[in-house]
Chain A
Amino acid sequence: MIGRVIAIALNTFREAIRNKILYGVLAAVIGLNIFAVVLGAMSLAEEARIARDVGLAGVSLFGAMTAIILGVSLLYAEIQRRTIHVILAKPIWRHEFVLGKYAGMAVTLTLLVFAFAVALALMLWVTGYGFDENVAKAVALGWLEVMLVAAIAIFFSSFSTPFLSGIFTFAIFFIGRSSKELEYAANKAKDPVLRVIGKGALYVIPDLHLFAVSGGEVDGKAVSVHATFVPWAYVGHAALYAFAVAAVLLVLAIVVFSRRDFS
């Protein structure tokens, strides 16, 4: 089984790195880091804060956007282009195919986030602000979020078109990032129906706010990448959450994909 999953993963990785969009995203992130330096220089004694914030936002947002772009067509394109006919006629189970596709995308996105982090580190090093432990934790959280967004995208891709999957995944990303605001709104809602819908959404939609906590509160304490940030234990818990939710989404994608006819 492992050999077949690796074969699909390697092929998915090969497809991604031969995709010019990826290099465009990388160029955009490098550009954003340069922009962060310029923006920092224009600010009043906030150079370090702006450089870090803009750089980390680039890692997180561009990583998530790339996960959505690559993920939404991951399974659908195979069906639409009928490349899947050649693959599934081989001695491979459908769950192995889905796992291989996700693994290939995960490797691609990991390397991409690593490249983003290197660009950020270079920018911080050139400007003299340093790539400290807090930034490393924030990058790790950003990477976990990207892995989870990729699983959301692949889940939608198992039954929907890339366009709709893109809309659904982006909506989940947006709502998941706003989970604190959604929780507040649900608690304050006077209409019981709205309250139930809001609370239900909190259970169903992955809590992506967990991965972007800088500037917010954790366990009642303010956390910031510029001052006191979350401990590594928090990153560990966030990793467990990300991989558990991703596993559930992959199982759902496998169930849907296994029941499909490829005509």
Chain B
Amino acid sequence: MADTVLAVENLSKEYRTSFRRKRVRAVEGASFAVERGEIFGFVGPNGAGKTTTIRTLMGLIRPTAGRCVIFGEEVPAPGARSRLGFLPESPYFYDYLTPRELVDLSGRLFGLDRATRHRRAEELIARVGLADAADRPLRKFSKGMLQRAGLAQALVNNPELVVLDEPMSGLDPIGRKEVRDLILWLREAGKTVFFSTHILPDVEAICDRVAIIAAGKIQEVGQVGSLLDESLVGTEIVVRLRPEQSLDGKLPDGVTVRDRSPEDVTLFAGPRVDVTDLLVGLAAAARIVSVVPRRDTLEEVFLRTTREAKS
């Protein structure tokens, strides 16, 4: 039986606008679960409800309906929070603190003793690459450095679950790579990572499973691979005609010629064409050069899902 670390059950959150008191539904009936040891991506466009869901998980806002459960305890529950680390979106820290003081404060709130706090601060500050800036006030930090300091404070309690809200947002490619590597390092260390993002190549590269949220509703939940399998759009086949042969009248319905060069012909078979039968049929007239299934990228799946949600 899977070991569920975090579960969101039929979660809804409604806000009222400041002046007109109009109701705005940020999240509607969201449900998904994160299992132990996986990297779970929470994907959606800006304003989809990712941050609202995460803030509800962290007990910062109360759900209008539904509930969140972390380590079997219903949120808000400080007991469960002692086993998780959290990095908020665009983190704002006390800018008069140094990374060392920030990690120490975080350790105090987890009830760690002085020696443990000191040791963890040294380890984590070095791990996130801030050893040279450990005693510099955070107000002098770049966004990438702040993100790394935030990760250090989130990990001080050696958490089993790490929740990261848009950890790659606003970072340059090198910064994104560093955060990606840190997330992979966390998985290697046996942690469960739940993170939200709208940067899809990162999700495709590191996530085991994803939930796609759009317009406040969960649109898809599944393994990255299976989401992509479901999105086969066709197969591209390159063939080299044998002497005196042609393909005229030999292509079944659903197969089109995409390109023709003096030597090769590029065909495209739609998703319903039986590719094995097609290849057998072509073998007499041509030599098969390559067969490449064409799938949507996660980005295309995401855009299609988001479009469907809006319509």
Q: Residues on A close to B: CB < 8 A?
A: 3-4, 6-8, 10-11, 14-15, 18, 81-93, 261-263
User: Does A11 contact B111, Cβ atoms closer than 8 Å?
Assistant: no
Q: Are A7 and B60 CB-contacts (below 8 A) given A86-B86, A93-B78?
A: no
Minimum Cβ distance to chain B for residue A21 (Å): 13
Query: Which of A3, A10, A14, A86 is within 8 Å of B93, CB to CB?
Result: A86
Name the A residues within 8 Å of B52 (CB-CB): 263
Chain A residue numbers with a CB within 8 Å of B81 are 89-91
Using known A-B contacts A85-B60, A85-B88, A86-B153, determine if residue A7 contacts B15 with beta carbons closer than 8 Å: no
CB-CB < 8 A to A83: which residues of B?
92-94
| Cα–Cα distance between A156 and B145 once the two chains are bound (Å) | 35
Q: Are A89 and B93 in contact (CB under 8 A)?
A: no
Chain B nearest CB from A95 CB (Å) reads 12
In the complex, whether B108 has a CB less than 8 A from a CB of chain A is yes
* B41 interface hit (Cβ, 8 Å): no
* B-side interface residues, number (CB < 8 Å): 32
List the A side residues contacting B90 at CB < 8 Å: 82
- Contact between B55 and A4 (Cβ–Cβ < 8 Å)? no
User: Do residues B78 and A11 form an inter-chain contact, with CB atoms below 8 A?
Assistant: no
Distance of B169 from chain A, by nearest CB (Å):
14
Residue of B15, B60, B79, B92 touching A91 (CB-CB under 8 A) = B79
Contact partner of A89 (CB less than 8 A), chosen from B59, B79, B101, is B59
- Please give the distance in Å from B8's CB to the nearest CB on chain A: 16
A7 touches B109 (CB 8 A): yes
- Give Cα A92 to B82, complex, Å: 9
Interface SS of chain A: helix, strand, loop or mixed?
helix
Further contacts, 6 of them, CB under 8 A, given A261-B60, A263-B15: A18-B96, A82-B88, A82-B91, A86-B86, A91-B78, A263-B60
Q: Chain B residues near A6: list those with CB within 8 A.
A: 108
> Considering the chains assembled together, what is the distance between the CA atoms of A8 and B55 in angstroms?
21
CA distance A7 to B106 in the complex (A): 9
What residue of chain B has the Cβ atom nearest to residue A100's Cβ?
A: B109
Tell which of A15, A82, A87, A92 touches B96, judged by Cβ atoms closer than 8 Å. Answer: A15
Bound CA span A90–B82, Å? 6
Partner of B60, one of A4, A18, A89: A89
Q: Which residue of B lies closest to A84 (CB)?
A: B60
A86 touches B60 (CB 8 A): no
Given A82-B88, A263-B55, residue A87 in contact with residue B109 (CB < 8 A): yes
Question: Within the complex, which residue of A10, A11, A82, A89 is in contact with B58, where a contact is CB–CB below 8 Å?
Answer: A89
A85 touches B55 (CB 8 A): yes
Residue of A nearest to B106 (CB): A90
Q: Is B61 interfacial (CB 8 A cutoff)?
A: yes
Q: Is the CB of A90 within 8 A of B110?
A: yes
B150 within 8 A of A: yes
The interface residues of chain B lying within 8 Å CB-to-CB of A15 are 94, 96
Given contacts A7-B109, A82-B88, contact A88 B15 (CB under 8 A): no
**Looking at the complex, which one of A7, A81, A92, A262 makes contact with B78 (CB distance below 8 Å)?**
A92
User: Is B62 close to A, CB under 8 A?
Assistant: yes
Known: A85-B55, A86-B153, A89-B58. A7 touches B88 (CB 8 A): no
The complex places the Cα of A89 from the Cα of B92 at a distance, in Å, of: 13
Q: Which of A3, A85, A90 has the most CB of B within 10 A?
A: A90
Q: List 17 A-B contacts (CB under 8 A).
A: A11-B97, A14-B96, A14-B97, A82-B88, A82-B91, A85-B60, A85-B86, A86-B106, A86-B153, A89-B58, A90-B82, A91-B78, A91-B109, A91-B111, A92-B78, A261-B61, A263-B52
